[in-house]
Every structure is written in C-alpha cells, then in structure tokens.
Amino acid sequence: MKYFVRILILFNLIFVASCGSLPRQSNTILADREANPNVVALRKRLLEIAKEGIAFGQQDATAYGLDWYLQDQPEVLTSDVKKVVNKQPALLGFDLGHMELGNTYNLDTVPFALMKQHTQKIYEKGGLITFSWHLNNPVSGGSSWDTTSAVTEILKDGPVNQKYEDWVKKISMFFKSLKDEEGKQIPVIFRPLHEMNGAWFWWGKGRCTPEEYKKLWIKTQELLLANDVHNLLYAYSPNIMSSSEDFEMFYPGDDYVDILGVDIYNHSGDPEFMKAVSSNLKILKEKSSGKNMPFALSETGNFSMAANPEWWTEVLYSTIQNSGISWVMVWRNARKDHYFSTYPSEVTENDFMQFEQKEDILFLPELKSIHN
C-alpha cells in the first residue's frame, strides 16, 4: 500500500510540474501565463474587432507627417489621416529602436516620451498600440540592417549575451511605465524580430539558422517576463511567404505567440500585391484556425501611390475585405518620396475618403464601441 501511495504522489508531482509547459489547449491561454487582465481583454477584443471589420492603423501617425513634426508639442494629437478624414487611425505603431542605446529618440527621431504620451491618449480613446523594435546589431554596433552575425553570440554566455540582456531590460522599463489614468498598465502588442524570413536584418534568414531564431525569440520573451513585463501580446510577423512551410520555418510555437501577422508591400505593381496579400492572409487564417488567434496585415504600403489614384478602394480594400484580419497597418509618412498613407492634396486623398466610408473599415471613433 505504501508503495502505491508513493507512486501516486510521484505521479501527481510530475503532473503539476509539467502543467506550466503544457501546449496551448485553451483559447484563453496567452504566451505570458501571468499576463494582466487588460492583456487578456485586449486579445478578446481583437477577436471581436475582426467580427465587426478591420481596424486601420499607421506607423508614427501622430508623431509627424508631411511638413509637420510634434517633437516640441507631445500633448497634441493630430495626423495626416485626421487632416483628411477628421478621424484618427484606430491603431498606432511605434518603434523602440535606439532605446537599447539609452537614447531619448528612436531611429526615426521620435521621442520616447512622446510615444508614451500618445500611447496613453490613444488607449484612453479606445485605440490600439503596437510596438516593433529595430534594435542595433549588438556585435558590430551597426543598425538592424547590418547583417554581421550576432544571434549565435547572443545565445551563448559572454559580453554580447550580457549586452542583449541589458537592452531587453531597458525596453522592459519602458513597457512597465505605460499606465493609464488609474495607474493600471496599458496592454500593447509587441512585434519583435519581424520579417525573419527575409535576409535584410541581422536576425533574418541566412544570418542565423531557424532553430537559432526560435531560441532568440524565446530568450527575448523569457527576459521580458523575468523583468516582470506582463502587459504584452506577442505578434509573430514574417515578410511575404511563399507557402505554409515558409511560415513554419521560423515559427517558435503556439506557446510563445499570441497574434499572427505578415508584412507585405506593393513593390511590383497592384496585381502582384493583391495576389500576395490574398494568399498570405489565407495562410494566416489557416494557421490561426482552432487556436482562436487574432491575425493581421501587420505592415503594408504602396511604394507608388501616384500610379493609382484609387488604390485604397480598388486594391487594398478589395483584397482585405472579409479576410478575417483584426487590423491593417500602413507604414510611416516620412517625406513626399517615402509615404504610405494619404495627406491633404495627395493624389489618393479622395479615394482614401471613400475607403474611410466603408462600413467595415474602422477608425478610432468606430473602434471605441467594440468591447471584448
């Protein structure tokens, strides 16, 4: 009898010990098992948004635009989008690149203090916020686009590993500082180490093995958790994929991901772009099926806006309509030869107005009424 009891106790201990690493079996389990309630609510809300339509977002939308810059007036909330349709985007994207260096501005000269203020303002208005991180190469000291081998060095004990851990600690402090008026942490979407199936970043294809990339993703997440960051949803976001196998190559696993995304730009003309977006969103929909994961067109834009004055309605909308995505985010309006939304007097301005009128395209006012 004593032998039986000992076996039973041992079995229970093994079962309890393994529960923390069980695969995702519930659609309520997040990558961060200790995520705060606001994060759980955000994930549910993203699923609800997809039932109602598609949230429209833009990178750095409220920080600057064509011929204006809010560096000295962070309390102001405007955007090129608002100047055209009198509505803010439903989602704001910001980048943490250069925070790891201890700078007060990111790589696109956006003050981190402004990001924090605008995150708070947009969240109070019912909007969504997503962060990427174009961090420097920790080996060479170059930019994200410096493809000097670095991942292997991060994954082993040594000065580069220590540097990376210190960098994650810096962004951890920023994430934990994002709080609403009641002092509760604001839930945001974090899209790290993106476009890994391309060869242009030091963490990308050919710069490390798929297994090394997965280890880096998991290490980054574990470091954030160890720094007591519990207000993030983690978005996995490859560049354009050729197949489901392309998606799986670098995928760290369901236990480490909350949202699926893909980044696709219009480089080669409208027909190719539409074909790519359609096929890639089908891949995401298939991968999210059964897991109840939100998915999105996490980064996009047209490099030749002047080529089609009706691009928003004829190309983008017709391709993402009824796709199941929670949001679409276009890249930033940096200057007249590098912009991805519209602005007053721009060639697609009138068509963007028609795009905004689509019942299932959601801007900030429409998003506020959608709860989890």
Among the listed residues 132, 136, 201, the one whose alpha carbon sits nearest the alpha carbon of residue 166: 136
Contacts of 249 (CB under 8 A, 6+ apart): 197, 210
DSSP states of 41-82: HHHHHHHHHHHH-EEEEEETTTTEETTEE-TT-TT----HHH
Q: How many C-beta neighbours within 10 Å does residue 4 have?
A: 8
**Can you tell me the distance from the alpha carbon of 107 to that of 207, in angstroms, rounded to the nearest whole number?**
22
CB 80 within 8 A of CB 120: no
Catalytic residue among 34, 153, 195, 314: 195
Q: Is 346 a catalytic residue?
A: no
Check 52, 245, 299, 349 and give the catalytic one: 299
Q: What angle, rounded to 10 degrees, do the helices at 210-226 and 159-177 form?
A: 50
Backbone angles phi, psi at 7, to 5 degrees: -60, -40
Coil/strand/helix, residue 188: strand
195 tagged catalytic = yes
CA gap 267, 272 in Å, rounded: 9
Look up residue 99 and give its DSSP letter.
G
Question: Cβ(98)–Cβ(88) under 8 Å?
Answer: no
Q: Which helix (H) or strand (E) holds 330?
A: strand 327-330
Active-site amino acid positions: 195, 299
